[in-house]
Amino acid sequence: MVVDYVTRMGDGRRVRLTKEQIMSDIVAGMSDGVDAACVPELSQDELDHICEVVCDQSKITSIEAGKEVVLSKDAGAIKFNQDNGGSGNAMPCMGRLEGILVYERAFGFDSMELAWMDYSVKPVKSIINCETANYEQMALMTTIPLIMGAMPNLGLYYAPDGPHPNPTDLMREFKIEESMASSEAAAEQLIKDIHYTCQEIEKVGCEGYNFDTVASAGDAEFYATLKGIEDYRKMNPNAYIECGMSAENVLGIHGQMEYDGKILGGMYPHEQVKVVEKAGANIFGAVVNTNTSKSFAWNVARSAVITKECVKTAKIPVHANMGMGVGGIPMCELPPVDITGRAAKILIDIANIDGI
C-alpha cells in the first residue's frame, strides 16, 4: 500500500506526496542549489534527515531542546499596524513602543528593531529627529537589544522617485555607459544618506542598525550598503550591525561594481557574507528564494545546501531569512505554521544557522 504524506507547495497549497516523491524532490532541489550557487552537495544522511522532517505528520515540528537559536527581526513592530502588503495585521491603535514591548515581554523575542512605516533609508533621513527622539525614550524601557533599521532601497534614488535616470530604462535604449554612471551616482548619494542617518542615531546612543533587504536594486545598492557599513563601523566600533539580503543572488545591473577587489554582481550567500564581514557587520542575513511551482521538500533542500556553505564560510553569525517566500517558506500571505517549524528545524540541523 502506498502511503501519502501531507506537505505543501512553494505557494502554500497542501499536496499529498509519497515518500519516494518527497525524496526525489529533495535530491532535485539540492542539485538545483548546487548548480546555482556552486556549493558542495549534502550527504545521504543529511538528505534522509530532511526527508524525515518533511514526512513528520505532526502539526508543529520543532527543534530539539538545547539547539534553539536567537531571533532578529526586520521592520520591528510596524508589522502590527501595517496592512497585509507588509504582512501586517492593520491594528490601528498599536504604537511602536507598545509593539516592541509586546515582542519583548509577550512573544519572548531575543532582539527588536525600531522601524519607520516607510521602511527605507531615504524617507527615514527626512524624519530622523523624530526617530532618534523616539529611540532615546524606548531604549529606557526595553531590556533586549534594540537597534534601528531600514532598507537601503536604491530604487528610490532613480526616476520617477529620485533624481537619477533609471539604469534599466537606459539599458533598453542601449545607453550602457550612461546606465552605469547613473547607478554609480545614485550609490554615492545613498552612501551619504546612510552616513547622515548613522551619524544622527549615534547621538542618542543607538545600539545599532539593521540594513535590511539589501541589494534589492542590484550590485550598486550592495556596494553602497557595504560602504555605509564600513563608515558606520568607523563611527562606532561597538555598534550592532546586521546586514540582511533581499535575494539569494545579487543582480548585476551595473555589472562591474566591486568591493574588496571582488565583483558584486552574481554573488551567492557564501560569497556575499565574506564582503559583509569585511565591511564590519556583526550578523549576516542569508536569503534563498522559494520557487512557488516546486514542493516544500524541493525548496527546503535547496535552501539547506546553499545556506550550509554560507554558514561554513562565515566567521560572523548567520541568521537565515525565513519570512514569506524565503528559506524554504512558501510564498503566501499566511505562511503555514506546519512549514515554518519544519523549515527552521532543517536549517538549524543541516545548515547550522546561528539565528533566524
Partner 1 sequence: MAVAHGLCSGMGGMRTTGDLVCRMQFAKSMKIADAKKYVADKLEIDPFQLTEENYVRDIREQLGMGVVTGQPNTPKGMPAKMNIEKVLGIEISSCEHFRQQVLRN
Give the binding site for partner 1 (CB under 8 A). 60-63, 65-66, 68-73, 79, 87, 104-105, 107-111, 136, 139-147, 204-208, 236, 238-240, 242, 282-283, 315-317, 322-324, 329, 335, 337, 340-341, 344-345, 348, 353-356
State the Cα–Cα distance between residues 249 and 272, nearest whole angstrom.
9
For the bound state, the minimum distance from the C-beta of residue 96 to partner 1, rounded and expressed in Å, comes to 16
| Closest distance of CB 63 from partner 1, Å | 5
Give whichever of 155 and 317 is closer to partner 1, judged by the CB atom. 317
* Cβ nearer to partner 1, comparing 176 with 337: 337
Task: Provide, rounded to whole angstroms, the least separation between the CB of residue 135 and partner 1.
Answer: 8
- Shortest reach from residue 140's CB to partner 1, in Å: 5
Q: Measured between alpha carbons, how far is 68 from 245 in angstroms, rounded to an integer?
A: 23
Minimum CB distance to partner 1 smaller for 97 or for 181: 97
Q: In angstroms, what CA-CA distances link 185 with 67, 164, 338?
A: 46, 7, 46
Asked whether the beta carbons of 183 and 171 are under 8 A apart, the reply is: no
Torsion sign across C-alpha atoms 266, 269, 270, 275: positive
The nearest distance, CB 308 to partner 1, in angstroms, is 14
| Secondary structure element (H or E) that encloses residue 191, with its range | helix 176-202
Rounded Cα distance, 303 and 33, in Å: 7
Amino acid letter for position 173:
E
Of 44 and 143, which has the nearer Cβ to partner 1? Answer: 143
The C-alpha cell at 99 is 509593539
Q: Could you tell me the smallest distance in angstroms from the CB atom of residue 206 to partner 1?
A: 6
SS3 of residue 189 by DSSP: helix
* Residue 137, C-alpha cell as written in the block: 525614550
Largest CA distance in the chain: 68
Cell numbers for 260: 574588496
| Closest CB 75 distance from partner 1, rounded Å | 10
Q: Is the peptide bond before 160 cis (omega within 30 degrees of 0)?
A: yes
Q: Between residues 66 and 92, which has the closer beta carbon with respect to partner 1?
A: 66
Residue 204 CB, nearest distance to partner 1 (Å)?
6
The residue among 330, 272, 285 whose CA lies nearest residue 113 is 285
Q: How far is CA 72 from the centre of its chain?
A: 10
Cβ within 8 Å of residue 252, ≥6 positions away: 218, 219, 263, 264, 265, 266
Nearer to partner 1, 110 or 169 (CB): 110
Residue 281's nearest CA partner among 317, 314, 310, 242 is: 242
Distance of closest approach, residue 318 Cβ to partner 1, in angstroms: 8
Nearer to partner 1 (CB atom), residue 70 or residue 263: 70
In this complex, which beta carbon is closest to partner 1, that of residue 251 or of residue 283?
Answer: 283
Query: Considering beta carbons, is residue 77 or 217 the nearer one to partner 1?
Result: 77
**Three-class SS state of 209:** strand
